[in-house]
Amino acid sequence: MKSPLTLEPMFHIGAAPITEPVIVAWAVMALIGGAAALATRRLALAPTRTQAAVEILVSAIDEQIRGTMQRDPAPFRALIGSIFLFTLISNWSSLVPGVEPPTAHIETDAAMALIVFVATIAWGVRSRGLGGYLKTFAEPSWVMIPLNVVEQFTRTFSLIVRLFGNVMSGVFVIGIVLTLAGLIVPIPLMALDLLTGTVQAYIFAVLATVFIASAAGEGRNPSADPAP
């Protein structure tokens, strides 16, 4: 099996090398975009099974955001939902024969963590103002400024390492067992990998929500407002 740290370009677009994880990531994004377009093109008051399933998924994401951030989930739904779905389907792509999930490659995980890092800063500045956001690094005391700055980078690094380590290890274990035992024995491991991929996608999305909520500050939970 190829090392996840060794990437050979399949072709080039100009000077940019295009590797297998990039192609699989593009396929995952196309799948999500296509499925979203098909599921939402004929919305109705009496939902079909597909529309009902999508509404349940969106409601679950909204409830997770609302419970974590104590804010209206609408501004954060697209980002957090996209992170969760992309991570989930990328992890599950390991079940397709001959496909290595892009999340088993550190470059993909680093790109996703960078998105969370930038979103955290952007929402912090948007919610508090530049001065207010910078003041958070001096909480609870100015002595904590170096540690708070380092924390911004270490927690981003932890996102990369957690997702990369868990997905890569699952791919390695299934590949080794498949080589030694044939097609039947790895089936339980593949089911476990399916569960692990779901858990890792959930953890990544929740941590992204927590980091953004921490930068944006406390909000107001619309569900807690008294009825007019």
Tens digits of pLDDT across the chain (228 residues):
455 456 777 887 888 888 888 999 999 999 999 998 888 888 788 888 888 888 899 999 999 999 988 889 999 999 999 999 999 999 998 888 778 889 988 889 999 999 999 999 999 999 899 998 998 898 888 888 899 899 889 999 999 998 888 888 777 776 676 666 655 556 677 777 788 889 999 999 999 999 999 888 765 444 444 333
Six-digit token string for 2? 């190829």
> Residue 205: inside a domain, yes or no?
yes
> Residue 74: inside a domain, yes or no?
yes
> Residue 227: inside a domain, yes or no?
no
> Residue 2: inside a domain, yes or no?
no
Which structural domain, as residue segments, surrounds residue 173?
A: 11-218
pLDDT of residue 226: 39
Question: Could you tell me which residues come within 8 angstroms of residue 138 by beta carbon, excluding any fewer than 6 positions away?
Answer: 144, 145, 148
CA distance linking residue 75 with residue 113, whole number of Å: 19
> Residue 120: inside a domain, yes or no?
yes
CA distance linking residue 39 with residue 218, whole number of Å: 34
For tokens 């957690």, name the residue.
162
CA distance linking residue 157 with residue 80, whole number of Å: 19
> Residue 223: inside a domain, yes or no?
no
CA 179 to chain centre: 30
pLDDT of residue 178: 66
Count structural domains, the chain: 1
CA atoms within 13 A on the CB side of 188: 2
> Residue 6: inside a domain, yes or no?
no
> Residue 5: inside a domain, yes or no?
no
pTM (predicted TM-score): 0.84
